């Protein structure tokens, strides 16, 4: 009997020992699971670091017109403020731009890096001689600003502009930017101009009187920054256009041929001699109160161009 009890007690003791061993093994399994979890937690920050950044804010990809400036008045952004005068939508003209303060038609943008040329469609607008449309537009003068300049197409003449069309009138949504103005009496008025009609950006040659239009693009989006160069060499007219931001540098280095606007493979867009010429920069809005009707005096009805950089040179 005692032997039987001893045997039973011994078996009970062995069972308790085995059970304890299993419990210990189970306990040893928990830290392993915790270690795996900790490793996963340690990997989480790595995944967060590797997540792509917001594509709307590209790193190290800012262009000059996306960078804030320090200009206070338009003259701060003009290489030679004496070389230009301006005509406003009310018909007034100003020849002293070096001291011209900001006004509703001609002012520095919020980023302080561009000049806003604004032409609201109003019943009180006035137009310049020989025009039925309104403008907030620069007209080229001599470099010292003593007189209006007039040149012939002999020699080399260059105008460069970095700009963006930012607003079109409501009904007749046409705005002209950069211009070569010629001898009106000889039938050569807007000899070559950069013109936007809705989304169609093109070159016009005195309204098809000198030659047919040349399309640059048919899907221009308002606010798209671009560079344009008009070049006249002994009567031959060329145009360079780029949205890459490096046209000016390439042109000055003699490596801008890839930006030439071609007409059926031909870089010479027009070969014509004339005089009484000058450059114009800014905003020549191709509408008026008659065209805009009941939308006249609407504060949202205006043409607008922002100019970031420009120059005119003659050789």
Q: Domain residues of the chain, as ranges?
A: 74-314
Q: Are strands 236-242 and 226-233 parallel, antiparallel or unpaired?
A: antiparallel
Look at the block and give the residue holding tokens 């917001």. 54
- Cα separation of 230 and 195, whole Å? 13
Retrieve residue 192's tokens. Answer: 């070559």
Q: Are the beta carbons of 117 and 305 closer than 8 angstroms? A: yes
Q: Are the beta carbons of 161 and 177 closer than 8 angstroms? A: yes
Q: Are the beta carbons of 237 and 268 closer than 8 angstroms? A: yes
b/e code 46-82 from CB counts within 10 Å (16+ = b) = eeeeeeeeeeeeeeeeeeebeeebebebbbebbeebb
CA–chain centroid gap for 67, Å, is 12
- CB-CB neighbours of 137 under 10 Å: 26
- CB-CB neighbours of 138 under 10 Å: 27
- Cα separation of 137 and 141, whole Å? 13
Which parts of the chain sit beneath pLDDT 70?
1-66, 129-130
The closest alpha carbon to 158, from 2, 1, 314, belongs to 314
Helix spans in the chain (H): 2-50, 247-252, 289-292
Retrieve residue 110's tokens. Answer: 């919020």
- Cα separation of 12 and 7, whole Å? 9
Retrieve residue 170's tokens. Answer: 């409501």
- Cα separation of 74 and 102, whole Å? 7
Angle CA(166)–CA(172)–CA(173) in degrees, nearest 5? 20
- pLDDT at res. 66: 56
Retrieve residue 184's tokens. Answer: 């009106």
CATH dotted code for 74-314: 2.60.120.200
Q: Are the beta carbons of 292 and 170 closer than 8 angstroms? A: yes
Element (H, E) at 240: strand 236-242
């Amino acid at each position: 009997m005692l032997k039987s009890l001893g045997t039973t007690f011994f078996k009970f003791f062995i069972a308790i020992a085995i059970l304890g061993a299993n419990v210990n093994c189970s306990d040893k399994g928990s830290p392993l699971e915790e270690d795996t979890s900790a490793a996963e937690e340690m990997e989480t920050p790595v995944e967060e670091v590797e997540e792509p950044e917001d594509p709307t804010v590209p790193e190290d990809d800012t262009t000059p017109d996306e960078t804030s400036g320090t200009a206070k008045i338009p003259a701060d952004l003009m290489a030679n403020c004496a070389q230009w005068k301006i005509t406003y939508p009310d018909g007034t003209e100003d020849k002293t731009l070096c001291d011209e303060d900001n006004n509703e038609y001609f002012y520095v943008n919020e980023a302080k890096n561009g000049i806003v040329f604004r032409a609201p469609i109003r019943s009180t607008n006035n137009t310049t001689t020989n025009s039925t449309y309104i403008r907030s537009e620069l007209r080229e003068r001599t470099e010292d600003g003593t007189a209006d300049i007039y040149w012939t197409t002999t020699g080399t003449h260059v105008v460069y502009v970095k700009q963006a069309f930012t607003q079109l009138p409501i009904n007749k949504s046409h705005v002209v930017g950069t211009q070569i103005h010629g001898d009106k009496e000889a039938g050569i008025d807007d000899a070559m101009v950069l013109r936007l009609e809705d989304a169609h950006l093109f070159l016009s040659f005195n309204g098809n009187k000198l030659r047919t239009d040349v399309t640059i693009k048919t899907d221009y989006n308002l606010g798209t920054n671009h560079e344009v160069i008009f070049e006249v060499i002994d009567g031959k007219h060329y145009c360079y256009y780029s949205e890459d931001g490096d046209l000016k540098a390439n042109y000055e280095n003699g490596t801008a041929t890839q930006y030439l606007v071609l007409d059926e493979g031909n870089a010479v867009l027009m070969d014509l001699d004339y005089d009484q010429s000058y450059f114009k920069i800014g905003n020549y809005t191709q509408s008026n109160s008659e065209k805009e009707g009941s939308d006249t005096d609407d504060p949202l009805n205006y043409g607008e161009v922002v100019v970031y950089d420009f120059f005119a040179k003659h050789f």
